Amino acid sequence: MFLAKCPRLSCKVLSGRGHRTLSLFSSPGPSNWNKVVSDAEKIVGYPTSFMSLRCLLSDELSNVAMHVRKLVGTQHPLLNTARGFVYDSKNNLQMRGLIVLLLSKAAGPSHAASGLLTQDMVSGIYPSQRNLAEITELIHTAFLVHRGIVNLKEWTVSDGPLKDMQFGNKMAVLSGDFLLANACTGLAQLDNTKVVELISSAIGDVVQGLYYENCNSSENSLHQAVDMATWEEQAFLSHGALMAKSCQAALELAKHDKESQSLAYKYGKHLSLGHKLNSDLRPFVKSSMGEPVAFSLFSAPVVFHRQIIGEDRWHQQLQQATTPRNQLDYSKLLTAVKSEKGVSAAVDLCCYHSNKALEAIQVFSSSEARSALENIASAITKF
């Protein structure tokens, strides 16, 4: 199932610089991806980079921002996250909301939506669907802020003063909780029980997924057996559940039938998994000789690699890549992984999810919005 080939897409492995980012929808190819996003934003009516601006400029968050300024000069990761809210050419923090709006426009009004007035639509999108897009972004941003909390048990003097890390953690918890509370308030105002249930369950999924991520980052996880079924389950929880359920909720707000909602869910799910694979693959397909490399040992190419060579040989490779100071030489591990078929298997799986996302939206009438969704699904296979 996972090694499906790409009948409609060409996945070429290119050389160049790779980069690591916290955002799910980071730019797979800056020029190509940014053009896809820019064209899509014109279709939905406004740049989604301003989607959560009302919340971010509120009096409450302005007070939080005043305290965050005290972190300037420290190494706390909350500062990098805050900078991303203003401008970051490598990250598209608002991509989830954009996809929700594009799906809403592509699906259009439902024949069963007799209680909804088409004159209330702006650029073919209901106000409630725009509100949902904002809510989705706020939830994602809240968890992004929470991810910036530093584990003080692993704190060292080189990380900076301990009091700065402690203060930064407090601000990360406070600002993340504030965004999440605003999202939940907006969710209740949608006045749709099913949508509340969907998004609430997505929040629970993300929490569970982040718990798994933290478990996988521990040293003990290096020697635990893992397979791609586990990887896909955990990747969906932490990276795909919010996107998939928000897409389904957008069509529920327009009173589309269950079949259409299911297809929207599948698009969000496969798009998210495909992009997670794209992110995991980047260090392996774009690394250059002599460049420092870093990647997750729970990334898809590594998990495929472990399945192919077996756990015994994997443990041998870990030992060979361990320096006298008990640190991992990622360059040696990168070479070992690239020498087998783990990378090509992950590329095939990325193409598989891209094609599944494309198939899910073929039921919608041909339109600019559907074309934009197709372009986004195709862009995740570009490296």
CATH number of the domain within which 92 lies = 1.10.600.10
Does 26 reside within a domain? no
Query: Predicted confidence band at 5 (pLDDT cuts at 50, 70, 90)?
Result: very low
Q: Which two tokens stand for residue 23?
A: 């955002």
**Rounded to the nearest 10 degrees, what angle do helices 241-253 and 127-146 cross at?**
160
140 burial (CB, 10 Å; 0-12 / 13-18 / 19+) is: buried
Task: Tokens for 82, please give them.
Answer: 């805050």
Ramachandran quadrant class, 23 (left: phi over 0; alpha: psi -120 to 50; beta: rest): beta
Question: Does residue 12 form part of some domain?
Answer: no
pTM for the structure as a whole: 0.80
Q: How many domains does the chain have?
A: 1
According to the model, what pLDDT value does residue 90 have?
A: 43
- What is the tens place of the pLDDT at every residue in 66-118? 555 555 556 556 655 655 554 444 444 468 888 999 999 999 888 776 656 66
Range of the domain at 183: 32-110+121-286+294-380
Looking at residue 372, what is its pLDDT?
Answer: 92
16 lies in a domain?
Answer: no
Residue 267 structure tokens: 């698009």
Q: Work out the end-to-end distance of the chain between its first and last CA atoms, rounded to an integer number of angstroms.
A: 23
Q: Tell me if 153 is assigned to some domain.
A: yes
Residue 304 domain-assigned (yes or no):
yes
Give CA–CA dist 284/268, Å, rounded: 25
In a domain, 15, yes or no: no
pLDDT: which is higher, 59 or 167: 167
| CA torsion, ordered 155, 180, 206, 248, to nearest 10 deg | -160
Residue 326 lies in a domain: yes
Structure tokens at 124: 């073919």
Residue 60 pLDDT level (bands cut at 50, 70, 90): low
Say yes or no to pLDDT of 241 above 70.
Answer: yes
In a domain, 228, yes or no: yes
